[in-house]
Structure 1
Amino acid sequence: MKKILIVDDHPIFRMGMAELLNQEEDFTVCAIAEDISSARKAIREEQPDMAIVDITLAHENGLDLVKEISSGHCPIQVLVLSMHLESVWAERAIRAGARGYIMKKEASESVISALRIISEGRVYLSKNMTSLLLDKFHVNPSVSGGAPTEEVLTDRELEVYRLIGMGLSTREIAERINLGVKTIGTYRDRIKQKLCIKNAAELTRRAVLWTESTHSGTGDPTL
């Protein structure tokens, strides 16, 4: 029986997921955590075989935990389960060390299937995401070389970019992800440079359009 740790900052979701998994003969929820600190404690004490991790953990990024787990000595298989659009975050989650990515809107049966696939040592992605990645690897070189897209941003830069798109100020972003105001300013400058954005107003406009489109699942904005 696989022991599973659930890491999510929404109590109702944690309870529902735990109830779902505990009904399965091959899974048991050994611990739940709402942030990275409590997840670390649960890993030390319970030694789970698998972990379900959300990307957005209050003031933290769940991918930081995924990277920490994948770089450690504990062979924990991670499934990222999140509301965020898979076309934006799935590849980043896999690069961080996750063995699978699934959106919260998917049916509960899909979550169970994903966990079983991961427990067998395979990687789980939806059919649509698998197709997107295959298309990316076989992209026609003649269509590349255009304006830079959000894919060039690091995970932290993308998180700052998303919060800019949500309308947060530099100070509010700093408080949200526990970084200094100057550090956020540096991230803003890097984002503008990478995306060839001229000023703060253009940065905000593009970030808002991107955040709205990815949150609604309509794809990247056309600018």
Structure 2
Amino acid sequence: MTSPIRVVLVDDQALFRAGIRMVLDSQPDLEVVGEASDGREGIEVVRATRPDIVLMDVRMPVMDGLAATAEILRDPGAPRVVVLTTFDLDEAAARAIQHGASGFLLKDSDPEFLLSAVRTVHAGSAVIAAQATRDLFAHIAEAGASEPVPPSYAALTDREREIFALAAAGLSNAEIAAREFLSEATVKTHVSRILTKLSLRDRVQLVVFAYRHGLV
């Protein structure tokens, strides 16, 4: 039997944490292994429990979610971090993603969407809330000029650039496979090579890269 996805909750509202824990623990493939009420405590709990996923509030006392995310992701074998926010064009959430978080989730999301988001991030085959993520970075991109495209992008093959564009648009591996008449395994291989060549952590960082360098 596959081990459950291990989750740590970091949020300063105890009632909110209790609600999220109830939703996650209701699923046989998910398990909440720790909680914290601020970023500093969150780092300690993450290091003690070694979860797969961290749900991290952006705004908290003692240490905010942005600083905590950056520190957690510096550790070897770091978990994936999903930041929690109250509104969809949150520049703090954008900064957390630029620091390596694997996406963001609105606090008023439906329970089913929360469950799907945790599983999606763990699988790494798609971007959670793809349209919202693209809208967030389009909003950020409008505020400043694009950065020059780095030389590493030139190392992508023509096929990899096609896959890059579709992934940057938020398509999942399955959707790209259907569009390009490829197997999902082949798409997964292409995406993995793209991430390696561009030194990106995951598909969300690919979206950030595309908007930062004006490639969408």
TM-score, normalised relative to structure 2: 0.58
Structure 1 counterpart of 2:12:
9
1:82-104 residue CA offsets vs partner (Å, 9 max, x unmatched): 22443433321210111010111
Query: Which residue of the partner structure matches residue 204 of structure 1?
Result: none
What's the RMSD between the two structures over aligned residues?
A: 2.4
From 65, 76, 79, the counterpart of 1:76:
79
**Alignment-derived partner of residue 127 in structure 1:** 131
Q: Give the Cα–Cα distance (whole angstroms) in 1 for the partners of residues 90 and 46 of structure 2.
A: 29
Match of 1:109 in 2: 112
Q: Which amino acid aligns with 2:112?
A: E
Once residues 65 and 10 of structure 1 are traced to their aligned partners in structure 2, the CA distance between those partners, rounded to angstroms, is 17
Which aligned runs of 4 or more in structure 1 are off by greater than 6 angstroms?
none
- What aligned pairs does 1:173-184 form with structure 2 within 5 A after superposition? none
- Structure 2 distance, partners of 1:41, 1:2, is 19
Which protein has the larger Cα radius of gyration, Structure 1 or Structure 2? 1
For residues 37 and 129 of structure 1, do their structure 2 counterparts lie closer, same or farther at Cα, with a shift above 3 Å needed?
Answer: closer
Ranges in structure 2 where 5+ consecutive residues have no aligned partner: 146-216
Correspondence for 1:217: none
For residue 74 of structure 1, report the CA deviation from its aligned partner: 2.7
Distance 1:11 1:135 in 2: 32
The question of 1:97 aligning with 2:100 is answered: yes
State the shift of 1:125 in Å: 3.4
Show the 5 A alignment for 1:140-179.
Answer: none
> Hey, what's the Cα distance between the residues in 2 that align with 1:115 and 1:70?
17
Q: Structure 1 residues 87, 9: CA separation in 2 closer, same or farther (over 3 Å shift)?
A: closer
Candidates 26, 40, 44, aligned match of 2:43: 40
- The number of aligned residues is 141
| Amino acid across the alignment from 1:52 | L
Separation in 2, partners of 1:115, 1:15: 17
Identity %: 26
Cα offset, 1:114, TM superposition: 1.2
Whole-Å Cα distance in 2 between the matches of residues 37 and 135 of structure 1? Answer: 30
